[in-house]
A and B are shown apart, each in its own frame.
Chain A
Amino acid sequence: MTSAQAQETGSERTGIFPIEVAGVEVLCDWRGAAYVPNHRLLTISDLHFEKGSSFARRGSFVPPYDTHETLGRVARIVEDYDPAVVVCLGDSFHDDNGHDRIPDEIFKDIVRLEDGRDWCWISGNHDPSAPSKLPGFSADELAIGGLVFRHEPHADSAAGEISGHLHPAARIFRRGRTVRRTCFACDRNRLIMPAFGAFTGSLNVLAPAYESLFDWPRMQALLLGDRRIYPIPATHLVPDRSCVIKEKSRHRA
């Protein structure tokens, strides 16, 4: 599929929201993936494969189906876009031994999915080592045509960074009710991807961790809905706890 075709079908498909990151067109998909038509590149972040078994090791038996579930979602998106390049933005495995615990069948499914395209495993804080047994290449970051892909966003990064790590979510408060969703967080220079894994939690974009990352007047959250993306500017978002009183600095009188 050419980029033009992707866009064409994209406009028919609901739930795709185009943005620009440092002037490059990026299509945000309601399922939590982003597609760069110019490079036929699909990116997903924070898959956290084998989070279930990681918990089970500590005696908490959450269902063992998370890898299967997450991979199924990845596969559907990959089939839809048929990208030339797939970039997994780090924390693809919940821990560094995660890829060793992947059941054989699922392992084969991943290999099959990688077939015929370039697959890049960006390293994350949960999975600093490369998944040696899986095909594809590993990198700490990847720069392609004005965009740079890495796991953790850099506060002083130049324009064009696409990252993950923070698991952004946003919350609105309206008529006495609140809605909280995972989201893409972006301004014109930077995009932070939602966490894709089936068992991944999230962190509100108004939390301090994001404070230095955005040009706030231009920041917007793209909330994931059912076959829809809801773009909401930062001014209309609320934190999870409505007012966090900051500790008064000890240095001041």
Chain B
Amino acid sequence: MSARKDGSPATPRMEERLYQNRYLVDDGRPHVKINRREGGDSEELKSLIRICPAGCYSLNEDGRVEVAPDGCMECGTCRILCQDTGELDWSYPRGGFGILFKFG
């Protein structure tokens, strides 16, 4: 991570930020999935591109929201924001998988 002139750290990219975290990814069993809604994604789902603290949400080539929960910190923000739209299928990772906090 490079530093600014004044010695403060530059804004890290998400990969750098999550790099220090420990994860045990449950390959092939994502614990957050999107139920595609006809007629486009809700504003709530779109908001997650900015709001998800782990940056798990992005826009694909078709302009639809996608989720890749490998870096998920299991906070539940997306679940709570999208509870009324029904677009998210959210469960905790299987026991032992997911994020492992060193300091918490």
Q: Do A and B bind each other?
A: no
